[in-house]
Amino acid sequence: MRNNNKKVSFSQKFDNFLNKDMNIVKNWKYYIIAPLVIVFVAIIVFACLGFNLGIDFTGGTILKVNFGTDISNSEYNNYKSEIESILNDNNIKKYSLQKEGSTEDASISIKFQDINGKTEEEMADVISAVIEQIEVTLNPDNTIPNFNVEDSQRIGASASDNLIRNALLSIGLAVLLMLIYIAIRFEFASGIAAIVALLHDVLIMCAMVIICRIQVNSSFIAALITIIGYSINNTIVIFDRIRENLRKDEYSKTTNAQMVDISVRQTLTRTIYTSLTTILSVALLAIIGVSSIREFLFPIIIGLFAGTYSSIFLSGTIWSFIYNRSKDKRLQKRLKEDKKKKETTQVKTENPEDKIVV
């Protein structure tokens, strides 16, 4: 006897799952629980510890220890321990070290924040002392001929203030331009829904950075702007499908909530596959990359998850709520206009001068 039971592939099972009723708008209360919990935990951590600000926002110094020759991993670990000891002796608590280059370009980059309460002049004295101690400790007998310590960058408090101001201005301008673009291409309700979804992504991204104590610096601002641009793309795809479905006769009697469920289901495969491939690529780069790359990519990974979540479960729901209110207002306005037109027609009919005499 033949076995008529055909094996169902994973893709077919996935498609069958997508074809089920999702009831996203109906179950919106369940979908906001996770974001609220993350934000609540972040608020508690922020109240206790605040942001883990990097030298781009607090002011600090970047030193570069050039060796002029290749250094092995064991040598780097020894040098790292000695440098950390020097920094701690000078009351420098927040710092990071990283090996850069190879062969004759090998160097160690040292980043450390300003000491609280120290003026620019006092910090200049501390930096000079640190450089002198590194030179004496790491190259006491001038055995490394091309050894030198370079004061490569100094970020003052005023520069940090300008960076924060410019970063906030850039993000605000980007959000405003997106709102205008979406309002023109689709409608104002879609623009508001997209901006609220973007705010969700930014909040979740900042919340996870606070909870995981990731350092906030200029690379975080770059990651933030990257996620804003990526998230709006997924949201626009869903709004575009909603707009197409609204024009179809087969959905003429469909409610807004059902329209959102249908449109999200139709674009879900594209959204999931696009997001997964992006997340896997970024995660792989974060695993094999250096620490500075990981600091940049970790917020992006969080933002990708948040953007995918908001595009599927939040943006359409917000649009439905706003569109319902605007639709009710437009309906009431149209009923008033029809009533007024009907009254005007009745007045003209009752006027004898308007009657036709045979």
Domain harbouring 93, CATH code: 3.30.70.600
Same domain, 148 and 181: no
pLDDT at 328 over 60: no
- pLDDT(31) > 70: yes
Domain's final residue, options 134, 155, 176: 155
Measured distance between the N- and C-terminal CA atoms of the chain, rounded to whole angstroms: 89
Indicate if the pLDDT at residue 181 is higher than 70.
Answer: yes
The phi, psi pair for 51, rounded to 5°, reads -75, 150
Does 235 share its domain with 179?
yes
Average pLDDT on 86-108 reads 84
Give the global pTM: 0.73
The amino acid at 239: F
Number of compact structural domains in the chain = 2
**Position 36 pLDDT exceeds 90:** yes
Class of residue 118 by CB neighbours under 10 A (exposed 0-12, middle 13-18, buried 19+): middle
Is the pLDDT assigned to residue 19 strictly greater than 70? no
Asked if 121 and 255 sit in the same domain, the reply is: no
User: Do both 258 and 310 map to the same domain?
Assistant: yes
43 and 73 part of one domain: no
Statement to judge: residues 142 and 180 lie in one domain: no
Kindly state whether residue 204 falls inside one of the protein's structural domains. Answer: yes
Asked whether residue 1 carries a pLDDT value surpassing 50, the answer given is no
What is the rounded distance in angstroms from the CA atom of residue 95 to the CA atom of residue 90?
12
- CB of 71 within 8 A of CB of 103? no
Give a yes or no: residue 222 inside a domain: yes
Residue 74 has pLDDT above 50, yes or no: yes
Q: Which domain holds residue 226?
A: 18-48+160-331
11, amino acid identity = S
Q: What local confidence, expressed as pLDDT, does residue 201 receive?
A: 92
Contact 150, 135 (CB under 8 A): no
Clarify whether residues 284 and 310 are in a common domain. yes
